[in-house]
Chains A and B, each alone.
Chain A
Amino acid sequence: MQVYSTPKAIKENSNFTFCPGCDHGLAIKTIAHVIDELNIRENTIAVASSGCSVFLYNFLDVDCIESPHGRACAVATGVKRAHKAQGNNKFVFTYQGDGDFASIGLAESMHSALRGENITAICINNTNYGMTGGQLGPTTAMGQITTTSQNGRNREYHGFPIKTAEQIAQCEGTCFSARVALYDIKNIINTKNTIKKAFEYQNQNLGFSFVEILSSCPTNWKLSPKESHEKIKTELSQIFPLGVLKDVKND
Chain B
Amino acid sequence: MSEKELLKGNIAIAKAALNCGCTCYFGYPITPQTEIGEYLSIEMQKNKLAYVCAESEIAAINMALGAASTGAKVMTSSSSCAVSLMQETISYACSDELPIVIVNVMRAGPGQGYIFPSQGDYNQATTGGGNGDYHTIVLSPTNVQECIDLTYRAFYLAQKYRNPVILLADGLLGQMAEPAELIDNPYPQIDNSNWRLDGAKSRPSREIHSLEVNQNKLNQHIINMYKKYEAIEKDECDFEEYLCEDAEIIFTAFGSLARHVKSVCNYYRSKGVKAGLFRPKTLYPFPYRKLNDLSKKVKIFIDVEMNMGQMLKDIRLSILSNAKISFIGKPVGNWLKEEEIINAADNIIKEHYASI
Contacts and interface: CB of A to CB of B under 8 A. Distances in A.
Interface stretch (B205-213, B263-271, B309-317): B205-213
B206 A71 contact: no
Interface of B: 23-24, 26, 48-50, 52, 54-56, 58-60, 62-70, 72, 74, 88-89, 92, 96, 197-202, 205-211
11 contacts: A43-B199, A63-B207, A65-B65, A67-B65, A74-B58, A74-B62, A77-B52, A78-B63, A108-B55, A108-B59, A111-B55
Nearest to A44: B199
Nearest to B26: A78
Interface in A177-232: none
Contacts of B68: 78, 82
B19 to A, nearest CB: 16
Interface string A7-43: 0000100000000000000000000000000000111
Most A CB atoms within 10 A — which of B54, B63, B209?
A: B63
A115 to B, nearest CB: 7
Interface string A60-83: 111111111001001111111111
B52 A81 contact: yes
B286 to A, nearest CB: 28
Interface of A: 11, 41-45, 47-48, 50, 54, 57, 60-68, 71, 74-86, 88, 90, 107-108, 111, 115
A82 B67 contact: yes
A202 to B, nearest CB: 14
A54 B150 CA distance: 37
Contacts of A84: 50
A41 B201 CA distance: 8
B67 A42 contact: no
Contacts of A77: 52, 59, 63, 66
B89 A71 contact: yes
Nearest to B48: A85
Contacts of B48: 85
A108 B208 CA distance: 20
B200 A62 contact: yes
B67 A78 contact: yes
A50 B60 CA distance: 18
A85 B210 CA distance: 26
